[in-house]
Chains A and B, each alone.
Chain A
Amino acid sequence: MRVGPDSAVACGWMPAREVRMTRLDAPAAAAVPADDLAGADDRALVAAFLAGRREAFDLIVERHRRAVYQLCYRFVGNHEDASDLAQDVFVRAFKGLTKFKGDSSLSTWLYRVGVNTCLNRVSVKRPTTESIDAAPRIDDRAVDPLDLVMRDERAVVVRRAIERLPPKQRATLVLRVYQELSHEEIARVLGSSVGAVKANFFHALGNLKRLLHSS
């Protein structure tokens, strides 16, 4: 599976300011000194890359790799597949950056690439089901161990139920709850309307309720 987001809600990985691109100024970017690239914003990095500066893409990877990896992980649920998917997302981004028009932020665009990559993967490969033992432990030493075990078991059941949701509902749920994107941002990532995003979110929760009851 694979990745991508951005939102009005607090989002730790996002750059401090939303980068809006109306036009990429490639000739100017080509002239940015190498030392200045590290401090350049996403827009400048994209422009520099499109002007032929390969190292600008390395900085884009460095800046967005965690968010992309986490998105992938939340789709596939294991490290091996998540890292493969995240790599795939960046390879696709490398090839497709010329199509990035700057209408949205780079992070939103990467989320779009990521979600598409993840959904494609999900459609051809059943997600690996994790064992109870593989469930991450919550570091809460004040909690009764028995409660912890039960919580872990419940979490595994919920994640399995999420894996069974239709692709768009699953993507919406992951982007909203785990990646903390706003409905508007999810709409941009998925190429749909805010109304459709809210409807998907509503149906995702409704379907989860049904799946959890049946399990």
Chain B
Amino acid sequence: MTHLTSDQLVDAVEGTLSADRAGHLEQCATCRASAESLRVVLRDVQLASTDPEPSPLFWDHFSRRVRTATDAERVPVTWWRSVWGPVVAVSATAGAIALAVLIRQGSALPTGVPAPPAPTVATVDADVSEIITSVAGDLSFEELKQSDLVPSRAAVDVAVSKLSESQQRELMRLVNERLAGSE
């Protein structure tokens, strides 16, 4: 019969060797010697075990350390939050921009000139505008940023690219007006 493999020698040391291989072990002096030498080393390892048990006071201190170290990190969120948060923010911001542009543009049109075809966001009514204003109107840019309500640069680019030429001109005028006002 073949000698025990390394796996089987481990099983023999741990007392989980199958019955048929245990039969071989009983009859084979070589395998018995191998298993015994492993057993001796294992016993040495077990006796060398330290039982690290710090003071009970250590644990609270440790938890505080972890808390402090992780306070600097952002709490990770699951996909549904990380995906829907920006989607909602981008949609709301794009809607608000387009709405503002449309309102401005509408008031600037000469009488008798038919209004240009309304984009999808034109269906956003005054109630929605009111909601957006009431939710975000009093917040500073930094506060909006901290609340994840500011869309990414790419999202803004996409939203702007969907505006018509005249809408983009109007947006540019509004931005310039705002920049000039802040100087």
Interfacial residues, chain A to chain B (CB-CB below 8 A) = 24, 26-27, 49-52, 54, 57-58, 61-62, 65-66, 69-70, 73-74, 77, 79, 82-83, 86-87, 90-91, 94-95, 97-98, 136, 151, 154-156, 158-159, 162, 173, 177-178, 195, 198-199, 201-203, 205-206, 208-209, 212
DSSP majority for the A interface? helix
Cβ contacts A to B, 18 pairs, < 8 Å: A24-B78, A27-B80, A50-B78, A54-B75, A61-B67, A65-B66, A69-B62, A73-B50, A77-B50, A82-B52, A83-B62, A87-B62, A91-B70, A94-B70, A94-B73, A136-B51, A155-B47, A198-B11
| A160 nearest in chain B by CB position | B48
Could you say which residues of chain A place their CB within 8 Å of the CB of B45? 158, 162, 173, 177, 205, 208
Docked pose: A57 CA to B73 CA in angstroms: 13
**B62 in contact with A86 (CB, 8 Å):** yes
Q: B47, A79: Cβ atoms under 8 Å?
A: no
Decide: A201 and B10 in contact? CB cutoff 8 A. yes
| A198, chain B: closest CB distance, angstroms | 5
> Once bound together, how far apart are the Cα atoms of A24 and B48, in whole Å?
41
Q: Residues of B contacting A212 with CB < 8 Å?
A: 41, 44
Residue in A closest to B63 when the chains form the complex, CB atoms: A61
8 A Cβ contacts from B57-79 to A: 58-59, 62-63, 65-67, 69-70, 73, 75-78
Interface majority SS on B: helix, strand, loop or mixed? helix
Complex CA distance for A178 and B49, rounded to whole angstroms: 7
* 11 additional A-B residue pairs with CB within 8 Å, beyond A62-B59, A66-B59, A79-B54: A51-B81, A52-B75, A52-B77, A136-B51, A158-B44, A159-B50, A202-B9, A205-B41, A209-B37, A209-B38, A209-B40
Q: Which residues on the B side are within 8 Å of A95 (C-beta)? A: 73, 76
Q: Determine if B7 is an interface residue (Cβ-Cβ < 8 Å).
A: yes
CB distance from A22 to the nearest CB of B (A): 15
List the A side residues contacting B47 at CB < 8 Å.
Answer: 151, 154-155, 158
Which residues in A have their C-beta under 8 angstroms from that of B134? none
Residue of A nearest to B81 (CB): A52
Question: B115 contacts the other chain (Cβ, under 8 Å)?
Answer: no
Decide: B48 and A159 in contact? CB cutoff 8 A: yes
Whole-angstrom CA separation of A198 from B52 in the bound complex: 26
Is B182 on the interface with A (CB-CB < 8 A)? no
Closest to B40 in A: A209
5 tightest CB-CB pairs across the interface, nearest first? A158-B48, A73-B52, A202-B6, A155-B48, A26-B78
Which residues of B from 1 to 49 have beta carbons under 8 Å from A?
6-7, 9-11, 13, 37-38, 40-42, 44-49
